Homo-oligomer: A and B are copies of this chain.
């Protein structure tokens, strides 16, 4: 028996779930955990099913595609043991990378790290010491299109499922972002209220915020405005200088990014309009 995760998205209509579970049952599958949500704004149905089956994955997929054809769904089927493959991008800051590598080594994240790409050489040693391939792709205004082409090639060659921007300090082009829509996760600091402009931690310090947060989101053309996957905050006080706030902010960034990667890699995050539905 093999354990599978099935994801499906479609415009909601009566009977989809019945057809879908019929497909699973007809190939001898037994559902272990499932969740489904119909977004009342967008009308999109999102379904995640974990099941066990002795059938071949292609047979299951064919059965599901046939049965659901009338609903024109997007179906993804994966053996749980075939983990999602991540390409991690970094620049010089290593706090998010460090946390991802730590959890990866311990098997806490259901991912394979295909490779790490950086626009700097600084973190090569850390990555190679972890036994992972490191690619240096420098980026300037002139070389950006070529650099993104090279990146896209690496994504394909490494069979990467999704890209994690672990404090990668370059902005991806709109074309690249669109091409990998829903497959690039970014992390950035968040405050209540937001602070526009430079030195947000200094602004936060001046206003005396009591909470420092972080937001992980999918990348869209508007870098910091994509659909939110995960957020968290941590309490601070007047004793913290702006520099202390930066350190505290790094901690919550690590935590939030790792949790977003876990949710995505576990196939729990569904895009629906400009927001996410997180099942399970």
Contact = CB atoms under 8 A, between A and B. Distances in A.
Interface of A: 12-18, 21-22, 24-25, 28-41, 95, 98, 102, 106, 108, 190-194, 205-211, 213, 215, 224-225, 227-233, 237-239, 241, 247, 272-278, 280
A271 to B, nearest CB: 9
A32 B38 contact: yes
Contact of A31 (B17, B39, B98, B213): B17
Contacts of A33: 36-38, 239
B208 A274 contact: yes
A18 B24 contact: yes
Nearest to A22: B18
Contacts of A39: 238
Contact of A233 (B211, B215, B230): B211
Contacts of A106: 95, 247
Given A17-B31, A37-B239, A208 B228 contact: yes
16 contacts: A14-B25, A14-B29, A15-B25, A18-B21, A18-B24, A31-B36, A33-B38, A35-B36, A37-B239, A102-B102, A206-B273, A207-B227, A207-B274, A208-B227, A208-B228, A213-B233
A95 B192 CA distance: 22
Q: Which 8 A-B pairs have the closest CB atoms?
A: A208-B275, A190-B192, A18-B21, A194-B194, A14-B30, A210-B231, A18-B25, A238-B277
Contacts of A193: 190, 194, 215, 224-225
A12 B18 CA distance: 17
Given A224-B193, A228-B209, A36 B38 contact: no
